[in-house]
Every structure is written in structure tokens, then in C-alpha cells.
């Protein structure tokens, strides 16, 4: 069973610089890990596989989905990823952004129609990544993940039937607002899926935000279901110790070319998180 959303991965070239660049946006580092083994089984999902990688988990002051900065190599691979966060509350942070032009979906119009918010596209040069911003007076938080896909119908089925997300609203063939419910409040997530004709498959070291990570209580069962609804390039499960926790992970490609990661949770961990959230 998929239990909720953990993080959105961000490709970076310097882990310390990425952590520092997150602070003006309202992100604190929960932990930083350097020189983690990079399993050989991940090679098909990387442009430039290296033996080790660095990670840092960043969470915004106001909550929402966390961002995991990942350094694979000194250069970011092309093409840029199809995913970006909808980041709210930027007036308080005082961060300055550059403009950004995209040939993909009209995200400001879709965010207005689906979420009723006024959003702008921007580039955060320090992360070399696009963001969609809502300048409201609130603590900075990630309100949703925006996913552009050239396979809108297949990805919608993948989220609904594979991930078990709920369709909150949609404009057929254009966009769908999906809610990922969880018994743990911090693991709940919102995804805004939009059709595009301009998207290439992502890799784990693609520039921007290439991969969404979810929690799973039954890795084999969830992987089989995702395969049934269009998941492909599924790598072998691997084990990694991160922040003192031993994690079992599977990564795969969704129908639209973006990447998904499943992280196995033990019953003890789930019980502990439920106790904390109650």
C-alpha cells in the first residue's frame, strides 16, 4: 500500500551550495549525507552514473512536500525535468527570482483554474531550476507538485489506479488535480497533472526536479500494481542507509517519462509516525 508522499528530488552540483540556496526560499536542511553508495542497478536511470552521491533533505518552514537535493556529478544532465514545485509564501522570504520562459503547459492559467491562485513562473538560478510561485503572506511551503506529461490519459490512470490518488477536479485532456491521502498528515500531497507536447524522459541526474518519492508498506505489491498501469524501467530493489535509517528503495519511470521512487516502510516506523501525528 502506498502510504503517502515523502519528497521531490532536486538535481544539484554542490550539496552545500544547494542547502544555502534553499534558505532564502524558506527551507531548512533536516540532514545532509555525503558519499552515499550509488547502487549499480540505478545506472539505467542515470545519464552519468557515479559510485557515490550526496543528499540533503530540505523542508520549508510552513511544511508541505520536502525537497531532497541530490548531487550525482559536477554537471547536470539534459533535458530539464518535467516536474516543479508550487511554492507559496514568498513575500515573507524576500527572495529574488529571475524570469523563466517555457514551451510547456500554461502553468499560471492552470493553477488559476485548478487551485484558484495567482501563480508566476520563475527561475531560481542558485538551484538551476524552475519554480511556480504564489506570493501570498504565509510561511513558505510547497503546496503542490506540477507534472507536465505528453501522456496525460496514461499518467492520470497511473496516479489514480497505480498510486491510488484521488481526482479532486479536472478539465479532461488538459489538467487534473490529484490528492494523495495519508494517515500521516505530513505525508499528504497534491499533484497537478497537465498535458504538454514538449517533454522528454527524465533521468535521476536531469536538471531540475526529476523524481517524486512515495512511502510504501508493501514494495513488491505496489511495484506490481504500478507496472500494470504503465510503470517501466523498474530497477531492482536496493538498500541504503540514510540519516541512520536503513531504507529499501525501488525506482521506475511513469508513462509520461518522469521518475517515481518507492521507499519501503516497516510497520514499526508507520506506527511511530501515526503516534506522532495523532
At 17, list the grid cell. Answer: 551550495
At 168, list the grid cell. Answer: 479532486
> Given this model, what pLDDT does residue 269 score?
58
Residues 6+ apart with CB under 8 A from 26: 60, 61, 62, 89, 90, 92, 93, 95, 139, 140, 141
Q: What proportion of the chain, given as a percentage, has pLDDT over 70?
A: 91
Mean pLDDT to the nearest integer, 204-208: 94
CA–CA distance, 180 with 240 (Å, rounded to integer)? 25
Using 50, 70 and 90 to split pLDDT, how confident is the model at 224?
very high
Task: Write the CATH number of the domain with boundaries 6-277.
Answer: 3.10.180.10
Domain segments of the chain: what residues?
A: 6-277
Model confidence pLDDT, tens digit, residues 83-132: 999 999 865 556 667 666 666 789 999 999 999 999 999 888 889 898 99
Amino acid at each position: 500500500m502506498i502510504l503517502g508522499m515523502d519528497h521531490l528530488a532536486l538535481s544539484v552540483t554542490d550539496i552545500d551550495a544547494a542547502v544555502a540556496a534553499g534558505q532564502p526560499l524558506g527551507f531548512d536542511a533536516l540532514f545532509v549525507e555525503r558519499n552515499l553508495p550509488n547502487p549499480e542497478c540505478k545506472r539505467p536511470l542515470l545519464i552519468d552514473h557515479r559510485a557515490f552521491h550526496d543528499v540533503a533533505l530540505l523542508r520549508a518552514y510552513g511544511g508541505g512536500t520536502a525537497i531532497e537535493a541530490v548531487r550525482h556529478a559536477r554537471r547536470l544532465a539534459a533535458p530539464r525535468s518535467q516536474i516543479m514545485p508550487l511554492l507559496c509564501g514568498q513575500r515573507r522570504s524576500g527572495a529574488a527570482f529571475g524570469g523563466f520562459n517555457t514551451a510547456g503547459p500554461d502553468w499560471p492559467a492552470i493553477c488559476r483554474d485548478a487551485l484558484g491562485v495567482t501563480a508566476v513562473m520563475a527561475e531560481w538560478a542558485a538551484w538551476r531550476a524552475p519554480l511556480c510561485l504564489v506570493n501570498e503572506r504565509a510561511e513558505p511551503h510547497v503546496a503542490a507538485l506540477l507534472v507536465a506529461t505528453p501522456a496525460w490519459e496514461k499518467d492520470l490512470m497511473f496516479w489514480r489506479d497505480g498510486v491510488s490518488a484521488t481526482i479532486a477536479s479536472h478539465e479532461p485532456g488538459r489538467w487534473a488535480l490529484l490528492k494523495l491521502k495519508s494517515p500521516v498528515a505530513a505525508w499528504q500531497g497534491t499533484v497537478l497533472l497537465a498535458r504538454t507536447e514538449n517533454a522528454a524522459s527524465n533521468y535521476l541526474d536531469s536538471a531540475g526536479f526529476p523524481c517524486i518519492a512515495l512511502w510504501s508498506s508493501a514494495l513488491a505489491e505496489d511495484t506490481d500494481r504500478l507496472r500494470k498501469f504503465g510503470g517501466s524501467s523498474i530497477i531492482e530493489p536496493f538498500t541504503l542507509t540514510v540519516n541512520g535509517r536503513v531504507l529499501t528503495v525501488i525506482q521506475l519511470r511513469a508513462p509520461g517519462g518522469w521518475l517515481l521512487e518507492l521507499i519501503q516502510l516497516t510497520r514499526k516506523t508507520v506506527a511511530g509516525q501515526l503516534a506522532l501525528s495523532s
